Amino acid sequence: MEYQNVKGTHDIILKEARYYQAIESLFISLAEIYGYNEFRTPIIEPTELFSRSKNDSSDMVRKQMYTFKDLADRSITLRPEGTASVARAIVNNKLHAEQDFPIKAYYLGPVFRYERPKAGTYRQFLQFGIENIGVDSEYADVETIILSYRALKMLGFQKLKLKINTLGDSESRENYKKALVKYFTPLIDKMCPDCQERLKLNPLRILDCKVPEDHELTKKAPRIKDYLTLSAAERFKKTTELLDEVGIPYEVDDTIVRGLDYYSHIVYEYEYISQSGLNVGALGGGGHYDNLVSEVGGPKLAGVGFAFGIERIYSLLKEEKLLPNLHAGFDFYVMPVGEACIKRAYIVADYLRMLGYKADAIIEKKSFKAMFRKAEKHEARFSVIIGENELKNNEVIIKNMDTQEQKTVKNTELKDYCDSLFNDHECHCHDEDCECHHKK
Ligand code: AMP
């Protein structure tokens, strides 16, 4: 019986997994440079961590969570996002007690949402995110934008669109929500059932509606900028000035409200449409929050963060032919010529691995031709051939798979010879653009 993976999930294997690793390690190393520390929080969390309020209006909390009872009848949820878990970890581990702010966290791992699967949308997907918690300032807000913008540029995205908006402070939002209720109440019967619900729970969410007819009606809705308090408007002004100062292009889009209830002040999203028109939805986004940490039992600490979906980044890099040139092959592929040489080949491969080279040995009887085919398939740079003569004379033949040059090397000189192959600062790939570590 062959089993299929669960709908909306996918296997990330072989070369694709290497590309994922490359994307993830770029995010991680940049976050480290900016002083963020890794937070590895559990994938399962108490359901209440996400559905903190009965009136939560986000689709994610209301409709998309994988929630189940464990054997002790506790309600458990597979995390649908990372921010609440980071806030919980800070509070549970009393990281705020040291008063050493900001607390800078990054995370990487799977998140789960019961969404309709389509290109770029899965039910289990990978998010990389950062949170900067404890310093309530536009400098912290903008730092997360700088980091995310640089990461996307370093990955190779050129014509990025960064859309920003402000949701103001709570007073601004309350005034704005009243204006939205007034505007939408006479129209709501014409709108989708979700928007009818949103009008009661959080009218801001209506701006996020993807139904085209509803979208038309939102065009003439009141705009948040007309309802900002003086201090919220001032803060947004300082934020945009800082973005100008650091040279990050953006577009103010006052329909961006983001999917979660906890945001205030700046919210942002990155959009990227490929040359061929592929749009998999936002690459990533983030925003500022004032009350999340206190809502999960901690002190009142503001925070700001972003999350990116690795799948969407990978699929767009692939579509745009921007994936890096990865050499995933072996440095050495050891070939025993005849059964008697298998043990030596096995030991030589292990010796090469101890020296730090990526190596493998063939451990079953195969023809010469079949062994070379395998070496080529696995993109070996050098093959190491051991026949009966070599076995007897304690030596091996090392053959450059590219140039076909070969040399007999004594076992006692193997380390020095191998090191010379990889340290002579010459590229053996004969490829102008190659990034291999042979190059100077
Ligand atoms: P969000 O937490 O909704 O702000 O999402 C942050 C990022 O996660 C998005 O910009 C996407 O890149 C990614 N993402 C969100 N939902 C999905 C999904 N269902 N499948 C794949 N990636 C997603």
Mutate-to-test residue for ligand 1 from 20, 27, 85, 125, highest number of ligand atoms within 8 A of CB: 125
pTM over 0.95: no
Check pocket membership of 308 for ligand 1, CB cut-off 6 A: yes
Q: What is the pLDDT of residues 208-263, one digit of tens each?
A: 888 888 888 898 999 999 999 999 999 999 999 999 999 999 999 998 988 778 89
Whether residue 114 contacts residue 139, with contact meaning beta carbons closer than 8 Å, is answered with no
Instruction: Quote the pLDDT of residue 111.
Output: 98
- In ligand 1, the atom with minimum distance to the C-alpha of 282 is 10
Q: What is the mean pLDDT of residues 79-90?
A: 98
Instruction: Quote the pLDDT of residue 213.
Output: 87
Half-sphere exposure for 112 (CA within 13 Å, toward CB): 16
Instruction: Quote the pLDDT of residue 432.
Output: 57
Whole-angstrom CA distances from 169 to 173, 230, 285, 388 are 6, 10, 19, 79
Q: What is the mean pLDDT of residues 168-182?
A: 95
Nearest CA to ligand 1 atom 20: 121
Instruction: Quote the pLDDT of residue 214.
Output: 86
Nearest CA to ligand 1 atom 16: 121
Check pocket membership of 91 for ligand 1, CB cut-off 6 A: no
Nearest CA to ligand 1 atom 9: 284
E-strand ranges in 215-348 read 251-252, 263-271, 284-289, 303-309, 332-336
Instruction: Quote the pLDDT of residue 438.
Output: 46
Residue 298 binned pLDDT confidence (cut-offs 50, 70, 90): very high
Q: What is the pLDDT of residues 6-55, one digit of tens each?
A: 999 999 999 999 999 999 999 999 999 999 999 999 999 999 999 988 77
**57, pLDDT greater than 90:** no
How far apart CA 76 and CA 46 sit, in angstroms, is: 5
DSSP, collapsed to helix, strand or coil, labels residue 416 as helix
Average pLDDT, the chain: 94
How far apart CA 412 and CA 221 sit, in angstroms, is: 80
Mutate-to-test residue for ligand 1 from 112, 113, 128, 272, highest number of ligand atoms within 8 A of CB: 113
Q: What is the pLDDT of residues 398-439, one digit of tens each?
A: 999 999 999 999 999 999 999 999 986 455 455 555 555 444
Q: What is the mean pLDDT of residues 126-133?
A: 98
Q: What is the pLDDT of residues 257-266, one digit of tens each?
A: 887 788 999 9
Check pocket membership of 173 for ligand 1, CB cut-off 6 A: no
Instruction: Quote the pLDDT of residue 436.
Output: 52
Check pocket membership of 102 for ligand 1, CB cut-off 6 A: no
Distance 284 CA to ligand 1 centre (A): 7
Q: What is the mean pLDDT of residues 175-189?
A: 95
Check pocket membership of 311 for ligand 1, CB cut-off 6 A: yes
Instruction: Quote the pLDDT of residue 424.
Output: 60
Check pocket membership of 309 for ligand 1, CB cut-off 6 A: yes
3-class SS shares of the chain: helix, strand, coil, % to 5: 40, 20, 40
Check pocket membership of 104 for ligand 1, CB cut-off 6 A: no
**271, pLDDT greater than 90:** yes
Beta bridge partners of 429: none
Instruction: Quote the pLDDT of residue 327.
Output: 79
Sheet order of strands, 103-112 included: 37-38, 103-112, 124-133, 303-309, 284-289, 263-271, 161-166, 251-252
Please give the helix or strand (H or E) that residue 350 lies within, else none. Answer: helix 342-354
For residues 259 and 66, the model is more confident at: 66
- In ligand 1, the atom with minimum distance to the C-alpha of 259 is 3
Mutate-to-test residue for ligand 1 from 311, 313, 316, highest number of ligand atoms within 8 A of CB: 311
Question: Percent of the chain having pLDDT more than 70?
Answer: 96
User: For 178-230, what is the HEC assignment?
Assistant: HHHHHHHCCCHHHCCHHHHHHHHHCHHHHHHCCCHHHHHHHCCCCCHHHHCCH
Residue 286 binned pLDDT confidence (cut-offs 50, 70, 90): very high
Q: What is the pLDDT of residues 346-405, one digit of tens each?
A: 999 999 999 999 999 999 999 999 999 999 999 999 999 999 999 999 999 999 999 999
